[in-house]
């Protein structure tokens, strides 16, 4: 799945996009919630930016291999609880 943000330039554009949705080729997400400072939204002031950097620096690091192993273990635990 790939998510993109597009800006429609006219009513006929919206109609074409809606046709794709009706054919189950795409799904339109009406309300997006962007909590990332790298995405559009309310600009950060200097204090908010510094707090965001501090939080990122203090967050624990996790390698991709460790993350995959952790998710695999969680998946197995969930499967056991379902059965």
pTM of the predicted model, to two decimals? 0.34
Could you tell me if residue 77 is inside a domain?
A: no
> Residue 67: enclosing H or E segment and its boundaries?
helix 64-82
Q: Are 34 and 40 in contact (CB under 8 A)?
A: yes
Report the alpha-carbon distance of residue 83 to residue 79 in Å, rounded: 7
pLDDT (mean) for 3-14: 78
Range of the domain at 22: 1-30
Query: Is residue 18 predicted with pLDDT exceeding 80?
Result: yes
- What number of helices (H) and strands (E) belong to the chain? 3, 0
23-70 residue pLDDT tens: 888 887 765 555 555 655 677 788 888 888 888 888 878 788 988 999
What does the buried/exposed string (b/e) look like for 11-46 if buried means 16 or more CB atoms within 10 Å of the residue's CB? eeeeeeeeeeeeeeeeeeeeeeeeeeeeeeeeeeee
Could you tell me if residue 2 is inside a domain?
A: yes
Count of domains in the chain? Answer: 1
Could you tell me if residue 76 is inside a domain?
A: no
């Amino acid at each position: 799945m790939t998510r993109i943000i597009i800006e429609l330039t006219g009513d006929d554009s919206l109609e074409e996009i809606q046709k794709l949705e009706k054919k189950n080729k795409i799904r339109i997400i009406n309300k997006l919630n962007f909590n990332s400072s790298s995405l559009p939204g309310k600009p950060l002031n200097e204090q908010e930016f510094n707090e965001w950097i501090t939080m990122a620096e203090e967050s624990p690091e996790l390698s991709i291999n460790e993350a995959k192993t952790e998710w695999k273990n969680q998946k197995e635990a969930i499967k056991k609880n379902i059965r």
